[in-house]
């Protein structure tokens, strides 16, 4: 579109009216570079007023467009467009993309310009908006991953260029409870040493590493990832599992899901990093206990490598660095995995726009396994984990059969942006409560059934809950009654679980079969399982719980993933 046509759309606004938006302090600042293209993004929000302000700084440009995309694509993205026209007058307007670039102006103008500035090297834009605007062309700012697209140009038309386009996922409404207040802070690293990464798609490398040699109780208060520069892009996740002390540990590196039965005895993931994640500070009154008799003497490190480019000869020394202190905090923290037990009874048919799977945690199994009364859990953080088909994850909290809240969710889950997130407060989970994890998947381009499994191309659906006070429990998961699905689809009689899986894999998947399978999954009973830190498992049969949907904001636009 030529510039003179664009002039017609230009919206010349006075900077900062005397009403409405207020400049909020920024809570966060991030600088990302892609080659020469250094973009800085800052933001701040007001939870009570449900407002956000965002500032971006780009290399010198005559126009800048800040976009919030529903799925990472340009189409249907919500843009604030600004710059200077030929007469050097500022323009600014709220817009959206309809099919193709450039964006068209929204009927309802919901962004406010707080600042537009440039000097010889940079352009800076700061905008303000309500989280919910009631304009269907505006993306809602919610507790979800938001895919930001920033574009800029110097040439005074809106020609997009890949070099001047910047894309990244953010979680704007983040909360930081973490704090480091210790005077004595010790460091220790759990990492591999020059592990040769195989030239295959998926490798899970495991080994045992001793805990720091402390003979009195200490608290881990922070951890950081260490990604070997040579393996950036190949290291997909790193998990540190606490082990029971009933094992013979050794230092060779093996296949986590191979034949070494010892790995299955260290199942309590306590520290972790996945693509897109960052460092984590535990809340001020919580630390992970090490050094007592009951605490593990060893950990198992698990590194998942995704080497789809089949790169050869890379030696990897990635891992996790912990900060620990003898200055004890009030509570011992723990981590419990909830969701679907990773096994092929978790399946998603091919060609599905939306398919939901459920994993159930029956917390009544916890006192049962430990054989003593257990205090309520105070949950303060969560990490959602699924693979490539997962579009949204919800962690539903039930008490006595009634949905009472959420323990963490993301309606726009991004596999490449997995982050441990704090909850606004501490949520109490009473023993006896049920936790249901829902993963909504989409498989329009897949040919065969996707099954649960550790490979990135298989699927997982788990949520790690960060809570205190700790109990030696690793996971609270379920598998559904796959026979019921087999029967509902009127497949051949299956004698056992694996036969049913084979039958489902071979079924004729069309829209009707998919709908029947979805229905069967919603009504199927589950086998709820609880896994001890040492790998021991107990289970019970559990009937399905009715799934309720949360009531959305009045301006909320319905999406498939609700």
Tell me which residue of 555, 350, 342 sits closest to 461, measured CA to CA: 342
Least separation in angstroms between CB 77 and ligand NAG: 9
The span from the CA of 171 to the CA of 233, in Å, is 21
The span from the CA of 394 to the CA of 253, in Å, is 35
217 binds ligand NAG (CB under 6 A): no
Q: For ligand NAG, give the closer residue by CB, 181 or 375.
A: 375
477 binds ligand NAG (CB under 6 A): no
- 385 as an active site residue: the answer is yes
> With CB under 6 A, what is the number of residues at the site for ligand NAG?
35
Least separation in angstroms between CB 286 and ligand NAG: 18
Q: Are strands 254-255 and 334-340 parallel, antiparallel or unpaired?
A: unpaired
Of the candidate spans 6-14, 228-236, 307-315, 498-506, the one that interacts with ligand NAG by CB under 6 A turns out to be: 498-506
Q: For ligand NAG, give the closer residue by CB, 310 or 558.
A: 558
Q: For ligand NAG, give the closer residue by CB, 48 or 120.
A: 120
The span from the CA of 172 to the CA of 28, in Å, is 9
124 binds ligand NAG (CB under 6 A): yes
Contact yes or no for 395/404 (Cβ under 8 A): no
311, 484, 516, 556: which one binds ligand NAG (CB under 6 A): 484
Q: Are strands 90-98 and 100-105 parallel, antiparallel or unpaired?
A: antiparallel
Binding mask 238-257 for ligand NAG (x = CB under 6 A): --------xxx---------
Chain-centroid distance of CA 326 in Å reads 32
Residues 93-122 binding ligand NAG (CB under 6 A) are 99, 119-122
Contact yes or no for 555/133 (Cβ under 8 A): yes
Q: For ligand NAG, give the closer residue by CB, 76 or 185.
A: 76
Residues 6+ apart with CB under 8 A from 270: 240, 241, 242, 288, 299, 334, 335
34 binds ligand NAG (CB under 6 A): no
Contact yes or no for 437/359 (Cβ under 8 A): yes
CA end-to-end span of the chain, whole Å? 37
Q: For ligand NAG, give the closer residue by CB, 305 or 451.
A: 451
Least separation in angstroms between CB 203 and ligand NAG: 26
419 binds ligand NAG (CB under 6 A): no
What is the full DSSP assignment across 280-335? EE-BTTEEEEESSTTS-SEEEEEEEEE-TT---S-EE--EEEEEEESS--SEE-EE
525, 545, 557, 559: which one binds ligand NAG (CB under 6 A): 525
Of the candidate spans 195-203, 451-459, 497-505, 508-516, the one that interacts with ligand NAG by CB under 6 A turns out to be: 497-505
Structure token digits, residue 266: 């260290």
556 binds ligand NAG (CB under 6 A): no
Torsion of CA 192, 193, 196, 201, to 10 degrees: 20
The active-site residue out of 96, 219, 304, 385 is 385
Least separation in angstroms between CB 450 and ligand NAG: 17
539 binds ligand NAG (CB under 6 A): yes
502, 536, 545, 547: which one binds ligand NAG (CB under 6 A): 502
Segments in 405-510 forming alpha helices (H): 482-488, 497-506
Q: For ligand NAG, give the closer residue by CB, 234 or 407.
A: 407
Chain-centroid distance of CA 513 in Å reads 30
Least separation in angstroms between CB 196 and ligand NAG: 27
Of the candidate spans 80-88, 200-208, 348-356, 518-526, the one that interacts with ligand NAG by CB under 6 A turns out to be: 518-526
201, 281, 285, 499: which one binds ligand NAG (CB under 6 A): 499
The active-site residue out of 166, 204, 305, 398 is 204
16, 24, 76, 253: which one binds ligand NAG (CB under 6 A): 76
Contact yes or no for 432/361 (Cβ under 8 A): no
Range 38-41, long-range pairs (CB < 8 A, 24+ positions): 39/150, 39/166, 41/148, 41/150, 41/168, 41/170
What is the full DSSP assignment across 164-181? TEEEEEE-TT----B---
Least separation in angstroms between CB 307 and ligand NAG: 33
Q: Which residues share a beta bridge with 65?
A: 81, 151
Least separation in angstroms between CB 65 and ligand NAG: 17
Least separation in angstroms between CB 246 and ligand NAG: 6
Q: For ligand NAG, give the closer residue by CB, 143 or 363.
A: 143
524 binds ligand NAG (CB under 6 A): yes
547 binds ligand NAG (CB under 6 A): no
403, 527, 547, 559: which one binds ligand NAG (CB under 6 A): 527
The span from the CA of 301 to the CA of 557, in Å, is 43
What three-state secondary structure class fits 232? coil
Chain-centroid distance of CA 18 in Å reads 39
Q: For ligand NAG, give the closer residue by CB, 126 or 387.
A: 126
Binding mask 364-403 for ligand NAG (x = CB under 6 A): ------------------------------------x---
Of the candidate spans 285-293, 353-361, 464-472, 495-503, the one that interacts with ligand NAG by CB under 6 A turns out to be: 495-503
Tell me which residue of 124, 123, 171, 165 sits closest to 32, measured CA to CA: 165
The DSSP letter of residue 503 is H
Q: Is the peptide bond before 192 cis (omega within 30 degrees of 0)?
A: no
* Catalytic center residues: 204, 385
Residues that bind ligand NAG (CB under 6 A): 57, 75-76, 99, 119-122, 124, 142-143, 213, 246-248, 400, 406, 423-424, 481, 484, 491-492, 494-495, 499, 502-503, 506, 523-525, 527, 539, 543
């Amino acid at each position: 579109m030529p510039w003179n046509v664009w002039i017609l759309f230009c919206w010349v606004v006075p900077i900062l009216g005397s009403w409405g938006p207020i400049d909020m302090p920024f809570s966060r600042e991030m600088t990302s570079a892609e080659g020469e293209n250094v973009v800085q993004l800052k933001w701040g929000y007001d939870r009570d007023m449900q407002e956000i302000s965002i500032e971006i700084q780009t290399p010198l440009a005559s126009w800048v467009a800040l976009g919030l995309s529903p799925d990472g694509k340009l189409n249907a993205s919500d843009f604030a467009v600004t710059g200077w026209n030929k007469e050097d007058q500022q323009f600014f307007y709220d817009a959206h993309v309809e099919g193709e670039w450039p964006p068209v102006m929204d009927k309802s103008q919901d962004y406010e310009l707080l600042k537009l500035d440039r000097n010889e090297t940079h352009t800076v834009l700061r905008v303000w908006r309500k989280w919910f605007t009631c304009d269907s062309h505006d993306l809602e700012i919610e507790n979800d991953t938001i895919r930001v697209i920033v574009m800029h140009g110097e040439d005074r038309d809106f020609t997009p260029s890949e070099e001047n386009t910047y894309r990244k996922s953010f979680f704007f409404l983040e909360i930081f409870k973490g704090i480091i207040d210790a005077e004595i802070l010790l460091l220790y690293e759990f990492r591999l040493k020059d592990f040769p990464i195989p030239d295959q798609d998926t490798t899970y490398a495991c080994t045992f590493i001793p805990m720091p040699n402390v003979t009195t109780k200490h608290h881990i208060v922070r951890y950081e990832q260490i990604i070997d520069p040579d393996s950036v892009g190949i290291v997909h996740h790193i998990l540190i599992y606490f082990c029971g002390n009933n094992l013979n540990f050794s230092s060779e590196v093996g296949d986590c899901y191979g034949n070494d039965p010892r790995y299955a005895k260290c199942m309590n993931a306590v520290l972790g990093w996945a693509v897109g994640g960052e460092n984590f500070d535990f809340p001020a009154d919580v630390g992970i206990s090490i050094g007592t008799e009951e605490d593990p003497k060893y950990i198992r490190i698990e590194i998942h490598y995704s080497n789809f480019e089949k790169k050869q000869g890379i030696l990897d020394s990635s891992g996790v660095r912990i900060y620990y202190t003898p200055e004890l905090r009030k509570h011992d923290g723990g981590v419990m995995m909830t969701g679907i037990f990773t096994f092929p009874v978790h399946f998603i048919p091919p060609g599905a726009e939306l398919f939901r799977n459920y994993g159930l945690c029956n917390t009544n199994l916890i006192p049962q396994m430990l054989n003593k009364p257990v205090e309520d859990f105070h949950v303060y953080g969560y990490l959602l984990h699924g693979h490539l088909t997962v579009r949204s994850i919800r962690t539903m909290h039930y008490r006595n059969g009634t949905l009472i809240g959420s323990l963490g969710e993301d309606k726009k889950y991004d596999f490449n942006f997995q982050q441990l997130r704090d909850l606004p407060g501490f949520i109490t989970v009473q023993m006896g409560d049920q936790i249901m994890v829902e993963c909504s998947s989409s498989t329009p381009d897949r040919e065969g059934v996707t099954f649960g499994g550790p490979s990135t191309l298989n699927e997982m659906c788990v949520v790690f809950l960060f809570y205190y006070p700790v109990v030696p429990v690793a996971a609270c998961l379920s598998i559904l009654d796959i026979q019921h699905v087999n029967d509902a689809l009127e497949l051949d009689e299956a004698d056992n679980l694996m036969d049913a899986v084979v039958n489902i894999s071979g079924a004729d998947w069309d829209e009707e079969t998919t709908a029947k399978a979805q229905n069967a999954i919603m009504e199927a009973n589950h086998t709820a399982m609880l896994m001890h830190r040492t790998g021991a498992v107990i289970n019970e049969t559990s009937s399905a719980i009715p799934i309720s949907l949360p009531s959305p904001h009045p301006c909320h636009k319905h999406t498939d993933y609700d």
